[in-house]
Structure 1
């Protein structure tokens, strides 16, 4: 009788399986061959949010759930706000497609870049890229 539990998570569109129910950010990176782990930012995609995962931060994996992570070769994360919700990203640029995907914004909704730095508002069309 096999009592070993397998846990899954998704990193950069790849499913990774482990026997560990608790894993840290360093292990998640290493399991995907992202070495040295400190050269990569790990972003967990949540329900209309995202956050960076530190090297020693513990993540609890559960059966029948599959947390999703993205990796970026970078030493810093970037913050942005979409519809009054905070997001973190691994590069200073993010595409309109990624904003729609991770913030669950329908295609028929217009994306407006509201920049407090230059007091302007611009409409983002197609697969525009913005700098956070």
Structure 2
């Protein structure tokens, strides 16, 4: 009796639905989710690395509760590939985020559109990809290079960041809003080291420091002609 009342959940167009049959037909999947008449819709099922078009005589398995489907009015399907796995979609545009979801693209991978004539292009999250204009499009994933390390330093207690291992005094003062060239930039010494006046051509190394560099802005009266 318990099995007779059992329901099997699945997702369709991002919303939960259920059926009492663990191996339903595509028509049952659509009808149980409220897409009727079922033959007005194209049903696409997400696969491990893409998606496929479900035909009317396919018997599906939803017993594990992880099945995911997409229903589209009309019968045209558009195909592209990601890492040579076929991906089908029922509209001529698809969001890049949806492609990443369907193809199980890792968060730290770039999704690259392989183009022979125009050159490859990285598809950015939040964008939209056009299907069907140039035939079968091919996408690949590439491990995204790690971002460069950021070096932190402070000027009068205000935090700044740079990707560069070193900067000149001129580059540092260019980052300070409203910098007055009459002022001096002084690097506080580490430990017993003395403070150092940083001239425009002075190179300050950030890589390898035990602690972030701290600078002070000193008005001209303090140093006189220094």
Q: Normalization by structure 1: what TM-score?
A: 0.83
Q: Which has the higher contact order (CA 8 A, sep 6+)?
A: 1
Alignment of 1:91-106 (within 5 A): 91-106=91-106
- Say if 1:74 and 1:91, in contact at 8 Å, map to a contact too: no
- Say if 2:18 and 2:32, in contact at 8 Å, map to a contact too: no
In terms of mean alpha carbon deviation, does 118-127 or 39-48 score higher? 118-127
Cα deviation 1:64-101 (Å, max 9, x = unaligned): 43311111222111111101211111112111111111
- Say if 1:37 and 1:55, in contact at 8 Å, map to a contact too: no
- Residue in structure 1 matched with residue 79 of structure 2 by the alignment: 79
- Residue in structure 1 matched with residue 184 of structure 2 by the alignment: none
- Residue in structure 2 matched with residue 127 of structure 1 by the alignment: 126
Whole-Å separation in 2 of the counterparts to 1:98 and 1:3: 35
Whole-Å separation in 2 of the counterparts to 1:14 and 1:97: 17
Whole-Å separation in 1 of the counterparts to 2:12 and 2:26: 12
Cα deviation 1:12-58 (Å, max 9, x = unaligned): 22222222222111111111221222221111112112101122322
Identify unmatched segments of 5+ residues in structure 2. Answer: 132-226
Identify unmatched segments of 5+ residues in structure 1. Answer: none
Aligned residues: 130
Alignment of 1:1-132 (within 5 A): 2-4=2-4, 5-62=6-63, 64-115=64-115, 118=117, 120-132=119-131
Whole-Å separation in 2 of the counterparts to 1:2 and 1:112: 49
Q: Flag the structure with larger Rg.
A: 2
